[in-house]
Amino acid sequence: MLTSSELQHAETCIIKIVQAELFSSEINDIKSKDKGGILRVGGRLQNSTLNFNIKHQILLPKGHVVTKLIIRGTHIEEMHAGVQNTLAAVRQKYWPIAGRNVVRQIIHQCVKYYRTKPTPFVELMGNLPSDRVTPARPFIHCGLDYLGPLQVKQFRGRATKAIHLELVYDYTTESFLNALKRMMARRGKVKRLMSDNGSNFVGANRALQSILKSLFISKEFESDIMSYLTDQGIEWTFIPPSSPYMGGSLLITAEEMHTLLTLIESCLNSRPITPMSSDPNDLEPLTAGHFLIELRLRPRLNQIFKISPTTGFRVGSELKNYQRNKWQRRSQTPLDVGTMVIIRDDNLPPLLWKMGRVAALHPGSDGIVRVISVKTASGITKRGINRVCVLPIDESAQ
């Protein structure tokens, strides 16, 4: 086993070799070296009582493998500390050139440190689906989800962003189907629904499929049923689940709850969906209420808006020209099959998030992957790429 003096001598020899490779001209020009012939930084602390290594740190070249090893070892000794703490610990003895950038690079390659502050994967924003940009009546294409802590069913029109709220009494498939029936009775038939694959939604979809299959047993009505499904059938699309926690209760009467939900629905449908102008001579901002009753659902008392013939033109022109500046960047780390990732869970701290490996990629119509399948210890699950964080592991080095 090596002694402390032998380790110190070996470290001095390694540093002298590194400095001789990269600082040969500086070593020849500068005569004020220490007794061991090591190049150090100067300073104005010569008369202080601090340790000699703190007053005159050993100069290390930028990006050298020895510099990286010293920084990585200090980072581990400091219990995987951040950039500031690690750099301060390194500078107790060494002075790496461009130290902050080198420390940041080394730390971001540390898996344990990364898991405390993981960065979600980011991809370019995709094109809007056809049902978002094609003119249609409200709620013919809509998304649905539960919201809490009150058990409320939310339907959102995908073209007009109109909101429809329904009170449900539990999370069973029967309760959901009843809410869907009430919504279609008030808003009209729905052509396409989008939701996550919660157990109640999947059960409702299977129930509808079983009913349709039982009807097809009778060949006598097969043509009528096919015609009906073609004209008024519902297409159900599931998106990757986010599994939000829902629960809680509130002591309130059913009449008060229905009144409150109606007022909330009115407020949400009165929000502008187009940019608001500062010119008082411009038309009133367009809201989802204009599509429902051709008026604001909550107008001012001293103003009654009359719909303009140009409203339909404004819908297309203003929404088309509205610039969306979000998600214009993408992650630099490639995402391929076999990449190690951790799955984000809003109900757990980052260190307890599940670790997995990408099992399959699901590219969109533009060829960009925004949904992946991840294989974990409990099985394979499908997630959006913004719900996973790529671990800083060099697969080629393994």
Determine the Cα–Cα distance for residues 197 and 178; give it in Å rounded to an integer. Answer: 18
DSSP state of 151: T
Determine the Cα–Cα distance for residues 40 and 95; give it in Å rounded to an integer. Answer: 8
Q: Which residues contact 244 (CB under 8 A, 6 or more apart)?
A: 346
Residue 142 is encoded by which pair of tokens?
């809509």
Determine the Cα–Cα distance for residues 132 and 142; give it in Å rounded to an integer. Answer: 10
Closest CA to 234 of 267, 291, 194, 268: 194
Q: What is the pLDDT of residues 151-182, one digit of tens each?
A: 565 666 666 667 788 888 776 767 777 787 78
- Counting beta carbons within 10 angstroms of the beta carbon of residue 135, is it exposed (0 to 12), middle (13 to 18) or buried (19 or more)? exposed
pLDDT, residue 33, reads 58
CA dihedral 169, 170, 176, 182 (to 10 degrees): 0
Residue 283 is encoded by which pair of tokens?
């038309």
Backbone angles phi, psi at 312, to 5 degrees: -60, -40
Beta-strand runs (E) in 286-377: 340-343, 355-363, 369-376
Which positions of the chain have pLDDT values less than 70? 31-35, 146-161, 171, 173, 196-233, 236-257, 274-285, 293-329, 394-398
Residue 331 is encoded by which pair of tokens?
């992650």
Residue 390 near residue 340 (C-beta atoms within 8 A): yes
Judged by DSSP in three states, 137 sits in: coil
Q: What is the chain's alpha carbon radius of gyration, rounded to the nearest angstrom?
A: 32
pLDDT, residue 360, reads 94
pLDDT, residue 364, reads 82
Q: At what angle do helices 173-187 and 199-216 cross, to 10 degrees?
A: 70
Residue 362 is encoded by which pair of tokens?
């699901």
Question: pTM of this prediction?
Answer: 0.54
CATH 1.10.3470 for the 130-269 domain, yes or no: no
Cis peptide before 149 (omega within 30 of 0): yes
Residue 130 is encoded by which pair of tokens?
């056809």
pLDDT, residue 275, reads 67
Strand partners, 340: 357
Locate the domains of the chain by residue range: 4-107, 118-125+325-398, 130-269, 274-323
DSSP state of 282: S
Say how far residue 14 (Cα) sits from the centre of its chain: 45
Q: What is the pLDDT of residues 190-208, one digit of tens each?
A: 777 777 666 555 666 666 5
Residue 391 near residue 342 (C-beta atoms within 8 A): yes
Task: Spell out the long-range contacts of 169-176 with Cβ–Cβ below 8 A and sequence spacing 24 or more.
Answer: 171/146, 171/200, 171/246, 172/200, 173/200, 173/203, 173/204, 173/207, 175/200, 176/200, 176/201, 176/204
Determine the Cα–Cα distance for residues 257 and 237; give it in Å rounded to an integer. Answer: 30
In this structure, the number of other CB atoms found within 10 A of the CB of residue 364 comes to 13
Residue 243 is encoded by which pair of tokens?
């599994």
Task: Spell out the long-range contacts of 31-36 with Cβ–Cβ below 8 A and sequence spacing 24 or more.
Answer: 36/12
Task: Spell out the long-range contacts of 361-370 with Cβ–Cβ below 8 A and sequence spacing 24 or more.
Answer: 361/335, 361/336, 361/337, 364/126, 365/126, 365/127, 366/126, 366/127, 368/123, 368/124, 368/126, 369/123, 369/335, 370/123, 370/126
The correct CATH number of 118-125+325-398 out of 3.60.40, 3.30.70, 1.20.120, 2.30.30 is 2.30.30
DSSP symbols for 344-356: --TTS-GGGS-EE
Longest dimension (CA), the chain: 104
